[in-house]
Chain A
Amino acid sequence: MRSPLSPEMATQEVPLNETLAHLKTESETLKLKLEEERAKLHDVELHQVAEKVEGLGQFVMKTRRTLKGHGNKVLCMDWCKDKRRIVSSSQDGKVIVWDAFTTNKEHAVTMPCTWVMACAYAPSGCAVACGGLDNKCSVYPLSLDKNENLAAKKKSVAMHTNYLSACSFTNSDMQILTSSGDGTCALWDVESGQLLQSFHGHAADVLCLDLAPSETGNTFVSGGCDKKANVWDMRSGQCIQSFETHESDINSVRYYPSGDAFASGSDDATCRLYDLRADREVAIYSKESIIFGVSSVDFSLSGRLLFGGYNDYTINVWDVLKGTRVSILFGHENRVSTLRVSPDGTAFCTGSWDHTLRVWILMC
């Protein structure tokens, strides 16, 4: 940040550089102090606390639905609150709303851009939002009339200066939270398209976000290519907590069902759990044999299981408490790009670059 040159400034040039170095040292000292403070309260490891907890048995999980209809890589999907409908988006610009239970396609929209990397279902079930390389997030109200052209009622809501990587409605249809390749996240009023709050702090593309399921509902977490996961206050736009322990891009973040922790999945092939109240990373879910990046993560309803979709076409299921892998699922023929557990936890859906979506459950 250079101030305009003036005669006084010229003589102040040297002190300015000193101050920068001074700030850098101060920054490093403070960072160490923060680590110290965090360590002081670290009196037990997660797996120690988990010793008293019963182990999990064998899991048999199978695909119960395979949704075919996309002509290209499936990039994103989201569940409707009715627990059976989903919206999915793909590389060729198509956004499809399915009733996954019957496998019927209910609505289809063709976006005027390719790589629709983000899509979300509105809480009311009456609209979907999507965006990607068009740098925008648009909302399409759905209709009972199957012949109606949904693109006619499309509403452009968010405008970023680079690609849209993720979007999510808040507790109502009236606001959308977005993250973008331009390094920022933003909160928008759907009706007017007005920017309500922007969130700056990531040093590189932001790839994912998730809203906190808490009673206050005022925070969200985002993950980016700068290897950081940041927790933000929606009211002030401030970053309130930040975690930088991953070794590569963070592709996915998801809150623990209680809202007191969150998991992240990264290109460094690990998933990690961060405890928000203790302000630290508390678990790493990894194996020597797993070297390919995690594209998306989600918890089962109780938070005991963490599902991860990987770039080696598999899904690994982790015991959140004990840190062990309880199951590995095969089936997709290309990388798993998106994974979400249904709202009532009865199933999880994966979308893949093999053009299909699969719904998986525990077989009883």
Chain B
Amino acid sequence: MTIRTVRPDRGQHFHPRMHCLKKLEATVVEMQDPKTGVKGSEQKLNVTTIPHVIAGNDIIAWITNKMKVTQEEAGVFGTMLVAYGYVYPLQNHKKLVMCNDGSLYRFQTPYFWPKQNWFAEDSDYAIYLTKRNIRKKGMLEAYEQAHYNHLNEWLNHQWDFIVMQATEQYKAGKDRQKPDRVVLDCQERAYWIVNRPPRRTHSALDSSPERLINPKAEQKITFDQYRRMNIFYQQAIMRSKVKSSVSLGALVKFITTYKNHDPFLAPCLPSNPWQTDHDAYWTLNMRRVEVPTKMRVERWSFSLFELLTDLRGRDDFKIFLKKEFSGENLAFWEAAEELKWGASSSMSAKAETIFKTFLAPGAPRWINIDGRTMGLTVKGLDHPHRYVLEAAQTHVFMLMKKDTFFRYLKSPTYKDIQKKALNPEAHNFSPAQLEQNAQNRNPGIDPIILWQQDEEEKAKAAAASAPVDVKAMMSKIDRKK
């Protein structure tokens, strides 16, 4: 594993935005209000007395009351206060969570609060560790020692400066009163736990890689960019829009249509595999089942898109089309999809096959599209690109959507499969059976094997059927390359 330890400068220097800081700070200030805030007390720690100590359950109670949330949510908010470093735990200082009991916490001094534009630099950390080393050798924990060694190596050029700063701070510290020193040490330690968390500590400042572009910088928009923006606005203004009542109505309609098919709204039959550890639901709904389930067949009727997306549905549609001797539209649509989503290298070969099979005068599976589209398409095929069939494909799809699809839904083919479709009974496992299921979870079939089987089926279909199964040929061209 070659993980780079020396940080290359990728030009990313900006801390991800922390939008929550403003609200967090406001809450923390309120919490410290002498009248309405959280009540603190003094606590004895060894021989020193620490002032303004607060208990976890008091903090959580205050949050519950103030923000009108449940205790659990208040606990989450409290944990975030600790994880961001606004509050630090006195006992168990490496666990940045708020416990809903008598655990003790203190408010962190504003100097150490997280800020958007100023974050803990490695050189600061090096100074801190060096200072502790000066005070007492061997005081660093293992993870801190590892950090120290690493920093010593790659900040070596600055090391004299770091030692000097550390010595200054150490001397300044000695001049302070003992109780003040203890408190400051606590605060500083808490700050570094949050900014350089040890392995098992979850800190909110442990952030993702820096961003490339400064989110706060004033965007200097150039002449060209303005021109582009204006063109965009003009096009957006011209574009046809739909009334809210219509489009929102459509969203509601979609939800109502799919309501019973959503496993989070209605139980799936026979049972949700994740709940009962029995994968019957998946086995019954596989790609190539002989008899599909009633729910699946119902879903095919929702839209042509659903019917075609479910390959089992597409198979059924093909059976209907064969009876009607009008399979060429779907075959063309499939071939166009293969072209659009296929590998670049296979495009010219595919375009040629499509032309010969569907578009050329007298072609074996000639599709009936209007003259203009045909003309444009054939011309485009001189210099094929992946969207060359877009117009023709849309035309054919619309034809199927507005006419063929509805005839399919009324056809004996569809009514037949509706009748045959399975309606599995809900599972009713006893606790003992559930235990059994959990022990014997079916590993299923590896998708790679399923894909190989699929390819074999396609090849067989291609060999067997006449006219040529264009889809299979297309994907074969793809695979060969």
Residue numbers of A with Cβ under 8 A of B are 1, 16, 19-20, 23-24, 26-27, 30-31, 33-34, 37-38, 41-46, 49-50, 53, 56, 59, 64-65, 80-85, 92-93, 99, 101-102, 104, 106, 110, 112-115, 117, 124-126, 133, 135, 142-144, 162-163, 170-172, 174-175, 181-183, 189-192, 194, 196, 203-205, 214-216, 225-226, 235, 239-242, 247-249, 256-258, 260-261, 266-269, 275, 277-280, 282, 288-289, 291-293, 300-305, 311-314, 320-321, 328, 330, 333-335, 344-347, 353-354, 359, 361-364
Query: Is B67 an interface residue, CB under 8 A from the partner?
Result: yes
Are B345 and A192 touching (Cβ within 8 A)?
yes
A216 to B245, CA, bound (A): 24
Query: Is B436 an interface residue, CB under 8 A from the partner?
Result: no
Query: Is B107 an interface residue, CB under 8 A from the partner?
Result: no
Are A275 and B447 touching (Cβ within 8 A)?
no
A63 to B279, CA, bound (A): 18
Are A361 and B275 touching (Cβ within 8 A)?
yes
A-B residue pairs, 6 tightest by C-beta? A125-B447, A302-B258, A30-B233, A302-B262, A172-B341, A23-B226
- Beyond A101-B279, A170-B341, whether A260 also contacts B251 by CB under 8 A is yes
- Beyond A291-B20, A345-B264, whether A205 also contacts B212 by CB under 8 A is yes
Which residue in B241, B252, B273 is a CB contact (below 8 Å) of A50? B252
Total cross-chain contacts (CB, 8 A): 329
Closest chain B residue to A258 by CB distance? B254
Main secondary structure of the interface of B (DSSP, over half): helix
Q: Mark B213-257, 1 if CB is under 8 A from A, else 0.
A: 101000101111011011011111101011111111111101111
> Shortest Cβ distance from A68 into chain B, in angstroms?
14
A45 to B257, CA, bound (A): 21
Closest chain B residue to A72 by CB distance? B199
> Shortest Cβ distance from B29 into chain A, in angstroms?
15
Binds A, one of B41-49, B71-79, B168-176, B181-189: B71-79
A292 to B114, CA, bound (A): 15
From B234, B247, B449, residue with most partner A Cβ within 10 Å: B247
Are A359 and B245 touching (Cβ within 8 A)?
no
Are A289 and B68 touching (Cβ within 8 A)?
yes
A196 to B1, CA, bound (A): 32
Are B212 and A1 touching (Cβ within 8 A)?
no
Known: A43-B245, A302-B255; 12 extra A-B contacts, CB below 8 A, are A37-B241, A80-B447, A126-B447, A133-B209, A162-B11, A235-B390, A249-B17, A278-B241, A291-B23, A301-B264, A312-B79, A361-B274
Query: Is B381 an interface residue, CB under 8 A from the partner?
Result: no
> Shortest Cβ distance from B434 into chain A, in angstroms?
12
Q: Which residues of A contact B213 (CB under 8 A)?
A: 183, 203-205, 225-226
17 A-B pairs (CB sep. < 8 Å): A1-B223, A27-B233, A49-B252, A84-B279, A143-B448, A163-B12, A163-B209, A240-B235, A256-B254, A258-B251, A275-B244, A291-B23, A300-B262, A302-B259, A346-B272, A364-B267, A364-B271
A102 to B279, CA, bound (A): 11
A359 to B121, CA, bound (A): 38
> Shortest Cβ distance from B3 into chain A, in angstroms?
5
Residue numbers of B with Cβ under 8 A of A are 1-4, 10-12, 16-20, 23-24, 67-69, 72-73, 76-77, 79-80, 202, 204, 206, 208-209, 211-213, 215, 219, 221-224, 226-227, 229-230, 232-237, 239, 241-252, 254-259, 261-265, 267-268, 271-275, 279, 281-282, 285, 304-305, 308, 337, 340-345, 386-387, 390, 394, 397, 401, 441-444, 446-451, 478, 481
- Beyond A174-B342, A277-B247, A304-B262, whether A289 also contacts B77 by CB under 8 A is yes
Are A333 and B202 touching (Cβ within 8 A)?
yes
- Beyond A43-B243, A85-B447, whether A204 also contacts B215 by CB under 8 A is yes
From B18, B204, B264, B449, residue with most partner A Cβ within 10 Å: B264
Which residue in B244, B271, B386 is a CB contact (below 8 Å) of A278? B244
Q: Which residues of B contact A347 (CB under 8 A)?
A: 263, 272, 274
A122 to B241, CA, bound (A): 35
Are A162 and B397 touching (Cβ within 8 A)?
no
Closest chain A residue to B258 by CB distance? A302
Are B239 and A279 touching (Cβ within 8 A)?
yes
Which residue in A24, A104, A203, A321 is a CB contact (below 8 Å) of B255? A321
Which residue in B223, B262, B274, B275 is a CB contact (below 8 Å) of A20? B223
Q: Which residues of B contact A293 (CB under 8 A)?
A: 19-20
- Beyond A1-B223, A361-B274, whether A215 also contacts B305 by CB under 8 A is yes
Which residue in B251, B275, B450 is a CB contact (below 8 Å) of A275? B251
Are A174 and B341 touching (Cβ within 8 A)?
yes
Which residue in A34, A99, A300 is a CB contact (below 8 Å) of B233? A34
Are A23 and B223 touching (Cβ within 8 A)?
yes
Which residue in A126, A143, A216, A303 is a CB contact (below 8 Å) of B254? A303
Are B275 and A64 touching (Cβ within 8 A)?
yes
Q: Which residues of B contact A26 (CB under 8 A)?
A: 226, 230
Q: Which residues of A contact B267 (CB under 8 A)?
A: 364
Which residue in A27, A30, A53, A182 is a CB contact (below 8 Å) of B237? A30
A270 to B415, CA, bound (A): 46
Which residue in A110, A279, A353 is a CB contact (below 8 Å) of B202? A353
From A41, A65, A182, A320, residue with most partner B Cβ within 10 Å: A41
Are A81 and B447 touching (Cβ within 8 A)?
yes
- Beyond A27-B230, A347-B274, A361-B274, whether A235 also contacts B387 by CB under 8 A is yes
